[in-house]
Amino acid sequence: MQQVPVSLWTLVAGIVVTAISIWIGQNHTLLPVQASQQAPLVDGFFNVMFTIAIALFLVVEGTIVIFLVKYRRRRGDDTDGLPVEGNLPLEVFWTAIPTIIVLCLGIYSVDVFNRMGGFEAAGHPHSVAHVHHSSGSAIAATLNDTPEATTAPTIGFGASPTTEGKPADLVVDVQGMQYAWIFNYPETGITSGELHIPVGADVQLNLSATDVIHSFWVPNFRLKQDALPGIPTQLRFVATKPGTYPVVCAELCGGYHGSMRTQVIVHTPEEYQSWLTENQVAQKQHQVVAVNPAELSTSEFLAPHIHDMGISAATLKSVVMAGNRQ
């Protein structure tokens, strides 16, 4: 019987390994649901790396299994194995191929990082953080006259190449502290323990920390950014799927680090407007309660209680006026 050439076996094995690794790499369920524009970029890169890892695993482990079977020690065979000093073509192959793979993955990762907003255009930082100098110093005066010395690009993910130079639709100041996240909306004055955003909006988070380093991580968005004490960082993204997603601190920040969790709630535009209205009304009510009663007139102090007293506003006014005359 004619023996099948090794080259043919190698070709068949390569086709099988490639097909299996591509299928597993594209059909795994290792990642949570995508919920941002940045998520498909990260998942695409992950799938490529996972496909390569599966292929390498099958080749290496498959070779080991084949060799264990084919070159196993037979009963009664006490002879020495064949002396093999090396194989130059094989050594060049297994050195060159991993090198090419690593270089390609490095270029691919830089492209993904740039498309996510990790790099700003040359000479156009995402935003600037000013360096303050004490007045009265000649050196400080010199530095203040040099824009390059007084400004620096913000660390983090800023505008993507498609949104470079455009302001974000929504800006939220995020403060990390042991052991909670506080979200402040500068345009409305709302403060919340959860992040509420509308779907499809270009959102910019300005991150800071009051004590130690924290890390703001939303697995469904495939985004993570450190919050650093004294150093502003930024995270800019677009949510694409309404829902509630976990926010996790991914940096060990103390004894209760594991409980430093909250959630981001992605609303439809209508739901987000409703949430804004409800919270603005609630905040105004809290402001009224917080007013010092000593600074209110008698009518202003009693006005919220006229319903409970069973009188009208006009009756209250007349009673107060009569009391003032006495």
DSSP per residue, 207-265: EEESSS-EEEEEGGGTEEEEEBBTB-EEEEEEB-S-EEEEEEE-S--STTGGG-EEEEE
Q: What angle do the packed helices 6-27 and 39-70 form, to 10 degrees?
A: 140
pLDDT-wise least confident of 35-39, 93-97, 135-139, 249-253: 135-139
E runs forming strands in 38-169 = 155-157
Q: What is the pTM of this model?
A: 0.71
- Answer for the pair 268, 199: CB distance below 8 angstroms, yes or no: yes
CA separation, residue 32 to residues 26, 40, 43, 81, 196 (Å): 14, 12, 10, 50, 20
Q: What is the CATH number of domain 155-267?
A: 2.60.40.420
Closest by CA to 108, choosing from 27, 46, 34, 40, is 46
Q: What is the pLDDT of residues 171-197, one digit of tens each?
A: 999 999 999 999 999 998 899 999 999
pLDDT-wise least confident of 1-10, 59-68, 104-113, 317-326: 317-326
Q: What is the pLDDT of residues 113-138, one digit of tens each?
A: 999 988 764 434 444 343 333 333 33
Closest by CA to 222, choosing from 107, 115, 103, is 115
At 278, list the tokens.
Answer: 């409800």
302: CB partners within 8 A, 6+ apart: 309, 316, 320
